[in-house]
Amino acid sequence: MPPSKGRMLGPPRSRMSALNAFQQQKIDFRSIKLAPAKKANSFKSGNFKDLQHNDQLKKLRIPASICKALPSVRRYANSKGFIDTTDSKALKEDAEAEPEILGQKKGRAGYNKYKIKQICEKKFEGMIWNLEFSPAGDVVICSGEGILLCDLELNIKVTLDNIRLAGGVAFLSDHRLVALCRFADTVNIFTSSGAFIRSFPAGTSPMNVSVNSMDEIIVTDIGAKCLRMFRSDGTPIRVIPQEGTNYQMKWPLYLSVMTDDSIIVSDCHQQKVLVFDFKGRFVRHFSLKTCAGNEVLRPHGVCTTIDNDTFIVDNATDSVEVFSREGSYVQTIIPSDKGAKLKPKVLRASEEGLFVVGGMSGMVQLFRFIDDSQPEECFIFKEENTASNAILIDTY
């Protein structure tokens, strides 16, 4: 049976005799020296006696591997002193002060490659159709209000003109913004500050857009069930047709470009993604099997990381799944119970460690990735002018 939290150090009999003496004779309880308890495994190298009686002690450094198991320990930035583990109110406030970390469901490898912590959220008018991070660090949101350039608190800075029904958005290497207008079926080009430059036809029913390293604009056309590629001036380059050798597209919806300019496309009617090389040649497709043999039922938004892992929204289960480049399941980063409020549809990850998800509810949630490989330090501070030198330690 594990020892209780926040206990005074010493065997049970010593504690009881000390307590009786204190109650009957009203002696100074702090003057009683108790026999040290058996040391917990996590503190084998520590000297408990010194911790109790050293008046010069100002702080106790706890290794990250240990402090993760100590619910009473606050981070240095949020705490002015240690928390009494017997104070249930303090423990509740401590638990509520820390945002929840998502990505706890482990993948096949037995660990979570990605973990995210929410920064902020905001509700916009209508459905969220697409998202992107600008080179300047803004969040670009395609919603029922149009295409919005927002800061990292999701406050609107600029609303783009000439867009009546927002589709996808992407950026060229010179920071010009590429946006789809699904009402006019055009690709519109804007300056980095949002001033309109020009537009050109994008097909029968363009839905999503991305840009590769050669500034080629790639558009999913759900009307013709194909992909179209253009130069930045609007000149057509090629069309990736609905059918080809070993593949067929039934509803090419969202796309993303990998670091080698390969194109990955989600097809929600086929419950799979398709991969093409930078010249539009079919490479492979894979079914999206998650844990326990389940599958992504309705793949929608898709984005890739610098490791070429693929994040995919399952619009049927309100979850976000992660797969490797080869199509093997990595982990569930947003489970269904956490995605129910958001109803995820689209998403985007940045090289700066940010992750944004938009939903059918109009909600946008901004996260940052947590790097567990970096060592953390946590401090318990001994408050000044306290009457006792005793330090409460959680033992496990």
> In sequence order, what DSSP letters do the residues of 142-168 get, joined into one string?
EETTEEEEE-TT--EEEE-SS-SSEEE
Same domain, 83 and 54: yes
Phi, psi torsion values for 386, nearest 5 degrees? -85, 155
DSSP-derived secondary structure letter, 37: P
Mean pLDDT of 320-344: 90
d(Cα 14, Cα 33) in Å, to the nearest integer? Answer: 9
Residue 136: per-residue pLDDT: 92
Contacts 24+ apart (CB under 8 A), 25-29: none
pLDDT in tens, 162-171: 898 999 999 9
pLDDT of residue 81: 42
Q: Is residue 28 part of a domain?
A: no
Tell me the pLDDT tens digit for each residue of 73-87. 444 334 444 444 444
User: Can you give the pLDDT at residue 28?
Assistant: 54
Is residue 212 scored above 90 in pLDDT? yes
Q: What percent of the chain has pLDDT over 90?
A: 49
Q: Residue 327: its pLDDT value, please?
A: 85
Do 180 and 302 lie in a common domain?
A: yes
- The verdict on 192 and 288 lying in the same domain is yes
- Do both 151 and 237 map to the same domain? yes
For residues 70 and 394, is the Cβ–Cβ distance under 8 A? yes
R_g (Cα) of the chain, nearest Å: 28
Query: Which DSSP category does 169 fall into?
Result: E
Instruction: Say how far apart CA 58 and CA 85 lie, in whole Å.
Output: 19
Higher pLDDT, 52 or 25: 25
Nearest alpha carbon to residue 125 among 106, 113, 141:
141
- What's the confidence (pLDDT) of residue 33? 53
Number of independent structural domains in the chain: 2
Are the beta carbons of 267 and 273 closer than 8 angstroms? yes
How many DSSP H helices and E strands does the chain contain?
Answer: 5, 29
CATH number at residue 243: 2.120.10.30
To which H or E segment does residue 64 belong? helix 64-67
pLDDT at 225 > cutoff 50: yes
Instruction: Indicate whether 130 and 86 sit together in one domain.
Output: no
Q: Looking at the domain assignment, is residue 27 inside a domain?
A: no
Contact criterion met (CB below 8 Å) for 345 and 300:
yes
What one-character-per-residue DSSP string does 187-217 give? Answer: EEEE-TTS-EEEEEE--SSEEEEEE-TT--E
Residue 24 maps to a domain: no
Amino acid occupying residue 134: S
